[in-house]
Structures are given as structure tokens and as C-alpha cells.
A = this chain, B = another copy of it.
């Protein structure tokens, strides 16, 4: 693979060549399934996703969300109940019209998202204020008929996500929930996936169909483009009113709930992990979610084999007992060099090499995936060194990713265009007008993505795009 790709290449074309190559060689995704935008997830992807989803499920459970599973189909009449919602999704929905040789009485949508599947049930379930807050989540797939060019993991027609759907008494609870959604993202995506993000409050013309407000979690890719990897929506009472989700309050009155929904995108985050952490040797999977954190490669000649394999087996057993996800590559048909290459390609964070000389000295050799630095450590201190190296890799991955999140400030159109060339976010003062943003997008391809959540600064001067009086400080970037 090309040198240092995934770290320094900023030009989209070359970067995408690297991306497709690593997806195939590291057994992440196969794009040859005979339907555009529908990909086959290979073992490296599925095992990593299992760890990613375990972290989300544990965290959502801990925060009082309860797991449910809704059907993947939505009857047409449900989907059409909320007017803005169906308007927003109409062009993106796959329709099931027949079963066997029969035409269905009512056609079904393959769910593009689950509000209209779930809230009619919420209306049946919710009776009393004692049931609030009501917080359910599900993990699964959704389908959107993407009309732009599809891309594996980044813009497919079928993708995996979590979706949580909460109901509350007040709009104060809504904001608290949105803050908690952000905290979950920080804990998992930032700390465990080593992916930094900004939380952007979307413009009014670019929010989730049917929402009062949409907040997007966005990161910056190695080619400088911005990728949305999750969203959380303030639904207000809009859906509650059309789906009749109300409760009997303490004062004896029936009231509509306030709702939020939150959608961490597992498929897109896996794509971000591949792109942001990978390098010229292949994937680098963050230790917290690596399906194999440590691989042991035995190095022997004919007459040292028994001794080396015995020691390798001992190390495997003792590390597994200490809850490392560890594997031993005992395959006889391959050389150590071949094995090093393969495990580097698949992004295993740490490799242990063990040979007769190591055994003699009572040491093992550990090699970290990111810098490929090689150190010898005393066998009895192996565990603490592995933990240290894994922590150091996580910190290093996050640091490198953070370097792309630097935000430039632009005063006028010329500066804005110059800064956008460097990639990532550019902060400007903005008039707040849809027309201004649309014209800018048509000219440059870059979008006014919104304002920063929780830290909205007042604008004092002029809009960097049109020069009119500015209303807010906004973030601009070219999207995926």
C-alpha cells in the first residue's frame, strides 16, 4: 500500500483508493454483493462491531434505557402520520408491495428510522406520569435509498445503528437527555473509539424531518471532509400530538409528552475508525474495541519448536485469564514475517513475539501497531506493560485524530475559501439565512453545518459569506 496513506493523504481520490484496498485486504467489507449500496460485512467488521455495540448497550442499560426490538417494516399509514417526516423521507424509502403472488392491502416501508413504528405503541403503553421518563432503545439496521454515490460504511443504503427513543414530562428533561447523549458519545466514541467530534446544532433547514432541533456529532476525516457519525433530536411534542402519546399527570390532566431520539451510527463510526486510524500497513483498531487486542507469534526453528510453543501457550492462557482478548497464531504453513504483515493489516494493536532467546532471558518482545516500536519486557511484568502500551496507543490515536479537528476562524469569503482548502471545520460569523448558505454550497460544495451545542457565542460583526449583519457563529465544512 502507498506510503503513510491514511495519515497524510488529503486528496480524496488517492485516499479513497487506499480505503477500498484496506476494506478488502483486511476483510472488513466486500462490496461485490449484487445490489448497489448493500455490502457484506466480513469477520473483522463483525467482531469489531460486536465490541462497539457491547459498549453502547452497556452504557445505555446503565443510563436506564431498556432494550426492545421493533419490526423492520412500517405500514404506509404509520409513516404518513407526521407530515414533515414523510415529506423528508419519501424519496428515500424502499417499499414492500407484494407477498408471494399477492399484492399487500397496505404497503410496508423498510424502516428508514423508527419513530412512526414506535410511537403508536408508546401511545398504547403510556398511561401515567409514574411511567415517565420512558426510555427504550434498539440496535439494528435501517435502509435508505441513497441517491448520491454510495460508499461502503460511509454512505450505504443499509446501515447499522442504535436508536433510543425517550419520552419526558418537560422540555427541560429534553435538554438534559441531549446532554446525556453527548456524554455517552464522549465516553464511548472519544475515549474508546479514539474519535474526536464536535456536537453541532443543525440549521433549521437541515434538521431531521419532524424535529424541533437536530444535533449532529461530526468528525473530520483524513481527506479533510466532515463526517456525521450520529445525531440526537429534540422532537418537542410534534410526534406526541400526531401519535397521541399522552399521560395522566398528578394534577389529573392528560398531557402530551416531550420526546427525544438519539442515533449513534455504528456503520459510519466503523468507517471513521478505518479511515482515521488506518495507515499504510492497514487498519489500526483502538484497543478498547479490538476483537484481538494481543496476538502472540511464536518464533522457532525445528529444535526449539516444542519449547517455544509451550511458552506461547502459557502466555495465551495467562493473558486470557486476565481478560485480554488474545490470540495465538500457531499456523505452521506461514512464516513469522507473513503473520506480522497479516496482523498489522487487520489492525491488532499489540503483537507479542516469543522465541528461544526471549525464553532464555525471561523476557517477551512486544511490538505496538502504531509506531511498530519494539520493546523487551520481563515476562512477570508483561500484563502491566501491555496495559500501558494499549493506553499509550489509544492516546496516540486520539491525539493524531485531534490534530485534524483544529478549527480555523475566517473573517471573510476569501479567508473562508482558503481555510476550507485545508480541510476540517472553519468558524465564521453568519447571517443565519438559508439562501446565503445555499448559494455558498452551490458555489463551493461546502455547507454551513450549524452552531456549536452548549457554547453558542454571539456574533458581533458581518456574515463572512454575504457581508450582511451576522446573527450567529457557525461552523462550515465540506460533508461526506
* Chain A residues engaging chain B, CB cutoff 8 angstroms: 30, 32-35, 38-43, 45-47, 50, 57, 66-73, 75, 77-78, 90-101, 108, 110, 117, 120-121, 124-125, 130, 136, 141, 145, 147, 158, 333
- The minimal Cβ–Cβ distance linking A141 to chain B, given in whole angstroms, is 7
Q: Is the CB of A68 within 8 A of B40?
A: yes
The verdict on A68 contacting B95 (CB below 8 Å), with A34-B78, A75-B34 known, is no
Question: Is the Cβ of A67 less than 8 Å from the Cβ of B96?
Answer: no
Residues of B within 8 A of A75 (CB): 34-35
Tell me the minimal C-beta distance from A441 to chain B in angstroms.
Answer: 22
Query: In the assembly, what is the distance between CA of A121 and CA of B40, in Å?
Result: 9
B108 touches A99 (CB 8 A): no
On chain B, the residues within 8 Å of A124 by CB distance are 30, 32
Say whether A98 contacts B98, CB under 8 Å.
no
Which of A72, A92, A95, A121: most chain B CB closer than 10 A?
A95
Write the chain B residue with the least CB distance to A29: B69
**In-complex Cβ contact of A67 among B32, B47, B136 (8 A):** B47
Contact residues in B for A33 (Cβ distance below 8 Å) = 70-71, 117, 121
Chain B residue at minimal CB-CB distance from A39: B71
Verify A95–B92 contact, CB threshold 8 A: no
- Given A43-B136, A91-B100, A94-B98, 5 extra CB contacts under 8 A: A40-B71, A47-B67, A92-B99, A95-B99, A100-B147
Q: Is the CB of B100 within 8 A of A35?
A: no
Q: How many copies does the complex hold?
A: 2
Residues of B within 8 A of A93 (CB): 99-100
CA distance A97 to B72 in the complex (A): 16
Closest B residue, CB atoms, query A124:
B32
A92 closest partner in B (C-beta): B100
- Measured between beta carbons, the chain B residues less than 8 angstroms from A141 are 72
Q: Which residues of B contact A100 (CB under 8 A)?
A: 90-93, 145, 147
CB-contact partner of A121 in B32, B35, B71, under 8 A: B32
**Contact A67–B50 (Cβ < 8 Å):** yes
List residues of chain B with CB within 8 A of the CB of A71: 33, 35, 38-40, 158
Q: Which of B69, B72, B94, B120 contacts A99 (CB 8 A)?
A: B94
Using known A-B contacts A34-B120, A41-B69, A71-B38, determine if residue A98 contacts B95 with beta carbons closer than 8 Å. yes
Residue of B nearest to A41 (CB): B69
Contacts known (A93-B99, A95-B97); A72 close to B72, Cβ less than 8 A: yes
Contact of A68 among B32, B42, B90, B92 (CB under 8 A): B42
Which residue of the partner chain B has the closest CB to A35? Answer: B75
Q: Evaluate contact between A40 and B120: CB separation under 8 angstroms.
A: no
Task: Specify the chain B residue showing the minimal Cβ separation from A70.
Answer: B40
Q: How far is the CA of A100 from the CA of B34 in the complex (A)?
A: 20
- Smallest CB–CB gap between A209 and chain B, Å? 14
- Pick from B32, B69, B99, B145: contact of A46, CB below 8 A: B69
CA distance A92 to B99 in the complex (A): 7
Measured CB to CB, the closest approach of chain B to A30, in angstroms, equals 6
